[in-house]
Chain A
Amino acid sequence: MTTVPIGTETEVTLRVNGEPRTISVEARTDLADALREGAGLTGTHLGCEHGVCGACTVLVDGEPARSCLMLAVSATTHEITTIEGLADGDEMHPVQRAMYEAMSFQCAFCSPGFMMSAVALLDREPNPTVEQIREELSGNLCRCTGYESIVRGVERAAAILRGEG
């Protein structure tokens, strides 16, 4: 039994990108704010804070989830992956490299959410059709691109991951 009284802060340890991060949060602090402010991982963006735009999408135990719709205090039992956790040192993740090559984004504010959704999709379905890609990305809003370059980026990522890159 854990209790965090109103108006107090508590220390939580989140597992983020394979590392434990102990940070101080209020009960009401959502996972996105905890990542951004507590852990300094500002690559996760907040676009709407009500679960629609998808910019804050992270992986929770490998599945895409809205970090604005999870409490930090409730996230301690999960493995969290953020955009900062994709690259291997200086080497971009295949999804990042593909988005670079496809010139997928413009302002890129939405890009972390799209890339996390794309990683989850390709993990589940290595050979998605264009329709599947569009459907899977439909929980992420982009205002700049008209989506085509992002869809191409996911196709490219699938090819790279299949070893055709």
Chain B
Amino acid sequence: MKSAGFTYHRPSTVDGALALLAEHGDEAKILAGGQSLLPMMGLRLARPTHLVDINGLDADLDFIAAGPDGLRIGALVRHANAEHHPAVAEHGPMIAAALPLVGHRPIRTRGTVVGSIAHGDPAAEMPAVCVATDATLVARSAAGTRELPAATFFEGYLGTGLRDDELLAEVRFPAWAPTSGGAVVEIARRHGDYALVGLACRVDVLDGIIDDAALVFLGVGGTPVRVTAAEDSLRGQAPSEALFAEAGRIVSTTLDAGSDLHASAAYRRHIAGVLTNQGLAEATSRIGVTA
């Protein structure tokens, strides 16, 4: 199980990396952490002829910055570094909640937050968190910079709105409001496995009433899946066990999940409902609201 051959490039500037992407287009892949790309290459399911290694570009891409506008995470921030970063804990509580669920520690040592988003695996946590938090994805190319909303970024299984010549340089999360509660919950076969079903859940509560809610599921389709009917059922209501249970029921009945080796569609729908209940309870309790 060895990768097919490729030409390796280790540019010394971001512009150098972007020039390589412009030159090689869909024959090139970015190597950051490589924790998803390299196994696919080993299995020869991915076979770029050019690999552009951005690991030398720490000065430009390895940053975590927090301010009034929110939290910015650069393309070379490892899961493990973000997991233990105080700014992430303070300004990105949902990201902090999701990080320990990403693979096992040795994977988090190398894997990057942004790489996980660019890979677009619908069973991964980071894409769902991006959607639930209305994150913005900053794509750079030789032609310029584009800011892409997470809501439309994930287009299909391992497919995103990134162009072949673009580097996903950073992810920006809007400032986290003190009235927002977030939770990331999931069920996996074994500890550290990709989730059978997971939920990135955000609830904004103003004066005891749910002002906004995001319920974004992972592992149930080709992209992170939002269940708007369930979100709608929450808005304008006071948090309560009955309300959450009803949201869970809506999720279970409306979600279109598939069957595979690890779980049936019925199981995934059921679990999505269970997680809805659990996630909403956790999210609201984080902001001191008891259902």
Query: Which residues of A are interface residues toward B (Cβ below 8 A)?
Result: 1-7, 26-28, 30, 33, 49-51, 54, 57, 60, 63-66, 68-71, 73-74, 77, 117, 120, 135-136, 138-139
Please determine whether B192 and A139 come into contact, CB atoms closer than 8 angstroms.
yes
Is B174 at the interface (CB under 8 A from chain A)? no
Q: Which residues of A contact B10 (CB under 8 A)?
A: 1-3, 73-74
Please determine whether A3 and B35 come into contact, CB atoms closer than 8 angstroms.
no
Q: Given A1-B16, A63-B109, A69-B34, A26–B42 Cβ distance below 8 Å?
A: no
Q: Which residues of B contact A51 (CB under 8 A)?
A: 35, 38-39, 107
Is B89 at the interface (CB under 8 A from chain A)? no
Query: Which residues of B are interface residues toward A (Cβ below 8 A)?
Result: 1-12, 16, 31, 34-35, 38-39, 41-43, 49, 51, 53, 55-56, 80, 103-107, 109-110, 190-192
Q: Which residues of A contact B103 (CB under 8 A)?
A: 139
Q: Which residues of B contact A27 (CB under 8 A)?
A: 5-8, 51
Nearest chain B CB to A129 CB, angstrom units: 15
Most A CB within 10 A of own CB, among B1, B53, B110, B191: B110
In the bound assembly, the distance between CA atoms of A2 and B103 in angstroms comes to 31
Interface of chain A: mostly helix, strand, loop or mixed = mixed
- The residue of chain B having its C-beta at the shortest distance from the C-beta of A61 within the complex is B109
Please determine whether B31 and A138 come into contact, CB atoms closer than 8 angstroms.
no
In the bound assembly, the distance between CA atoms of A49 and B2 in angstroms comes to 8
Q: Which residues of A contact B7 (CB under 8 A)?
A: 3-6, 27
Please determine whether B55 and A6 come into contact, CB atoms closer than 8 angstroms.
no
Please determine whether A1 and B6 come into contact, CB atoms closer than 8 angstroms.
no
Please determine whether A3 and B8 come into contact, CB atoms closer than 8 angstroms.
yes
Please determine whether B107 and A4 come into contact, CB atoms closer than 8 angstroms.
no
Nearest chain B CB to A103 CB, angstrom units: 25
Q: Which residues of A contact B53 (CB under 8 A)?
A: 71, 73-74
- Extra contacts, 6 of them, besides A28-B6, A69-B38 (Cβ < 8 A), are A2-B9, A49-B39, A64-B109, A71-B38, A73-B53, A139-B105
Nearest chain A CB to B88 CB, angstrom units: 17
Nearest chain A CB to B55 CB, angstrom units: 6
In the bound assembly, the distance between CA atoms of A100 and B190 in angstroms comes to 28
- The residue of chain A having its C-beta at the shortest distance from the C-beta of B35 within the complex is A69
Residue from B12, B38, B42, B51 within 8 A of A1 (CB atoms): B12
Nearest chain A CB to B103 CB, angstrom units: 7
- The residue of chain A having its C-beta at the shortest distance from the C-beta of B11 within the complex is A1
In the bound assembly, the distance between CA atoms of A50 and B12 in angstroms comes to 29
In the bound assembly, the distance between CA atoms of A119 and B36 in angstroms comes to 25
- The residue of chain A having its C-beta at the shortest distance from the C-beta of B84 within the complex is A124
7 contacts between A and B (CB under 8 A): A6-B7, A49-B2, A51-B38, A57-B106, A63-B106, A66-B107, A139-B105
Q: Which residues of B contact A26 (CB under 8 A)?
A: 5
Q: Which residues of A contact B35 (CB under 8 A)?
A: 51, 66, 69
Please determine whether A136 and B8 come into contact, CB atoms closer than 8 angstroms.
no
Residue from B9, B43, B106 within 8 A of A64 (CB atoms): B106
Most A CB within 10 A of own CB, among B49, B109, B191: B109
Nearest chain B CB to A94 CB, angstrom units: 20
Nearest chain B CB to A48 CB, angstrom units: 8
Please determine whether B34 and A139 come into contact, CB atoms closer than 8 angstroms.
no
Q: Which residues of B contact A3 (CB under 8 A)?
A: 7-10
Nearest chain B CB to A154 CB, angstrom units: 14
- The residue of chain B having its C-beta at the shortest distance from the C-beta of A7 within the complex is B5
Please determine whether A50 and B39 come into contact, CB atoms closer than 8 angstroms.
yes
Q: Given A3-B9, A49-B42, A28–B4 Cβ distance below 8 Å?
A: yes
Q: Given A2-B10, A6-B5, A30-B38, A139–B80 Cβ distance below 8 Å?
A: no
Please determine whether A70 and B106 come into contact, CB atoms closer than 8 angstroms.
no
In the bound assembly, the distance between CA atoms of A30 and B39 in angstroms comes to 11
Please determine whether A66 and B191 come into contact, CB atoms closer than 8 angstroms.
no
Q: Which residues of B contact A63 (CB under 8 A)?
A: 80, 106, 109
In the bound assembly, the distance between CA atoms of A77 and B62 in angstroms comes to 15
Please determine whether A60 and B110 come into contact, CB atoms closer than 8 angstroms.
yes
